[in-house]
Amino acid sequence: MATAGKVIKCRAAVIWEAGQIPSIEEVEVAPPRTHEIRVKIVATGICRTDDHVAEGLFPDINYPVIVGHEAAGIVESIGPEVTSVKPGDKVIPLCLTQCGECASCQNPKTNFCLKSHFYQPQNLMPDKTTRFTCKGKQVHHFLWTSTFSEYTVMPESSIVKIDNAAPLEKVCLFGCGFSTGYGAALNSAKVEPGSTCAIFGLGGVGLSVVMGCKTAGASRIIGIDINKEKFAKAKELGATECISPNDFDKPIEKVLVEMTGFGVDYAFEVIGRTDTAVAALASARLGSGTCVLVGEPPSGSQLIINPRLILTGRKLKGSMLGDWKLKEAFPKLVSDYMNKRCHPEALISHTLPFEKIAEGFELLRAGKSIRCILLF
Ligand code: COD
Ligand code: ZN
Ligand code: ZN
């Protein structure tokens, strides 16, 4: 492409300091370096984690920063030694890398690649520099994806090529929300046919857990949310019952244990709170129930649990990005979508032009959107 090797000027949403909503700016995006890829983003979803950065809830984030990690786009140019994609390929960014070489990537039991931003300064590229500048200032990356920019640079380990026939404005949802919830049910919990499930939190990720439980053949899928406006969609996607903790004068775990006899086979925390994490564990079945934590409580918080809950046979585990090894999983999930075997598009409640990103953040904060997709 004519832009290869050159600095590109384009639109991006920059968060200048903690507590500020992203503002649209013109940024300069440097060409990709060795093992890096520059991508033209076509569609990107707004995830709660992006908003948490805007709210300043992550103490280790450096500003100014360009967030965004749930997206799909087209390769504009590649740096030296890139072999897995070429310009013009459709791709999905991976907010958890799969380098293919580290001990975790070689271990079928985990998706926690050891060469990811979890183990390095996450606001910089792997070589500890940035590719973005705006008004003469360096702008930081986020999760090595920074998809709230028309063009962005990513390491090759953070990118995977997908079917060129895939509609990017739909499959962008595989980048975080859908895969996180769907995989929590199928991979982390391994929900079995005929089992009972409880999902705490019916946002985009919780609804994806609901879809995963349904695909796995669960017979009872109980949705729990304090916002009853979420119930209709949850039922449409597979929840058999929905309840609000505010409608009971006893703890929600007691309600769930009474509803099911001894508790649910699988409980999922998809809110990101410690109190609901404890309630989810306590609602898991005595002797054999599994509780999967999907939500991430505020940094610095501690989970205080009665050890007897575990000693009496319940299991507690965490799940990140649905336990998928993302580079392997995304092309397969895209193919499942093309064959109508999964429905990430069910999460899209709003679609806006990129310029209206601030409106997208407002919708998320007001609890009005499930997923708002921004189109460039
Ligand atoms: N009891 C019941 N429901 C509640 C409560 C409560 N006390 N508080 C809030 N809720 C409901 C809300 O009404 C809402 O419907 C739902 O919980 C939360 O949904 P959203 O829309 O805020 O969020 P999601 O579904 O997009 O994402 C939820 C996560 C928990 C996955 C996310 O916020 C998170 O913690 N992410 C970090 C962990 C992670 O997996 N990240 C992957 C990369 S981002
Ligand atoms: Zn790895
Ligand atoms: Zn996310």
Atom 32 of ligand 1, residue of closest alpha carbon: 295
Contact by Cβ (8 Å): 67, 165: no
Phi-psi region of 374 (alpha: psi -120 to 50; beta: other; left: phi over 0): beta
The span from the CA of 138 to the CA of 16, in Å, is 11
- Residues sharing a CB contact under 8 Å with residue 167, sequence separation 6 or more, in sequence order: none
Mean per-residue pLDDT pooled into runs of 10, the chain (376 residues)? 93 96 97 98 96 92 96 98 98 96 96 91 93 98 97 97 98 98 98 98 97 98 97 98 98 98 97 98 98 94 96 97 97 98 97 98 94 98
Q: Is 230 in the pocket of ligand 1 (CB under 6 A)?
A: yes
The span from the CA of 4 to the CA of 22, in Å, is 28
Structure tokens at 167: 């509609």
Looking at all shown ligands, the one closest to residue 181's CA atom is 1
Chain mean position to CA 8 = 28
Question: 151-155 and 36-45: which strand pairing?
Answer: antiparallel
Q: How far does residue 58's CA lie from ligand 3's centre (Å)?
A: 14
The span from the CA of 182 to the CA of 324, in Å, is 10
Q: How far does residue 9's CA lie from ligand 1's centre (Å)?
A: 35
Q: How far does residue 205's CA lie from ligand 3's centre (Å)?
A: 9
Find tokens 């994609």 and name the residue. Answer: 85
Determine the atom of ligand 1 nearest the C-alpha atom of 364.
Answer: 21
Q: How far does residue 49's CA lie from ligand 3's centre (Å)?
A: 5
Structure tokens at 163: 């079917």
Strand partners, 318: 293
Q: In what order do the strands lie in the sheet with 220-224?
A: 241-243, 220-224, 196-200, 266-269, 290-293, 315-318
The span from the CA of 349 to the CA of 347, in Å, is 6
Q: Length of the chain, please?
A: 376
Contact by Cβ (8 Å): 291, 317: yes
Determine the atom of ligand 1 nearest the C-alpha atom of 50.
Answer: 44
Atom 12 of ligand 1, residue of closest alpha carbon: 201
Question: If you ran DSSP here, which 8-state letter would residue 340 be given?
Answer: T
**Which residue blocks in the chain are alpha helix, DSSP H?**
48-55, 103-106, 168-171, 177-183, 204-215, 231-237, 252-260, 274-282, 307-311, 326-338, 357-365
Looking at all shown ligands, the one closest to residue 204's CA atom is 1
Find tokens 């609804």 and name the residue. Answer: 207
- Residues sharing a CB contact under 8 Å with residue 366, sequence separation 6 or more, in sequence order: none
Q: What pLDDT sits at residue 61?
A: 92
Q: What pLDDT sits at residue 335?
A: 98
Q: Is 199 in the pocket of ligand 1 (CB under 6 A)?
A: no
Q: Is 22 in the pocket of ligand 1 (CB under 6 A)?
A: no
Phi-psi region of 287 (alpha: psi -120 to 50; beta: other; left: phi over 0): left
Q: Is 296 in the pocket of ligand 1 (CB under 6 A)?
A: yes
Q: What pLDDT sits at residue 299?
A: 85
Atom 14 of ligand 1, residue of closest alpha carbon: 203
Please give the span between the terminal C-alpha atoms of the chain, in angstroms, as a whole number.
19
Phi, psi of 308 (to 5 degrees): -60, -30
Q: What pLDDT sits at residue 272?
A: 96
Closest Cα partner for 225 from 187, 273, 291? 273
- The overall pTM is greater than 0.95: yes
Q: How far does residue 273's CA lie from ligand 1's centre (Å)?
A: 8
Q: Is 205 in the pocket of ligand 1 (CB under 6 A)?
A: yes
Closest Cα partner for 335 from 212, 166, 95? 166
Q: Is 314 in the pocket of ligand 1 (CB under 6 A)?
A: no
Q: Which amino acid is at 187?
A: N
Atom 26 of ligand 1, residue of closest alpha carbon: 204
Contact by Cβ (8 Å): 176, 143: no
Looking at all shown ligands, the one closest to residue 201's CA atom is 1
Q: How far does residue 50's CA lie from ligand 1's centre (Å)?
A: 12
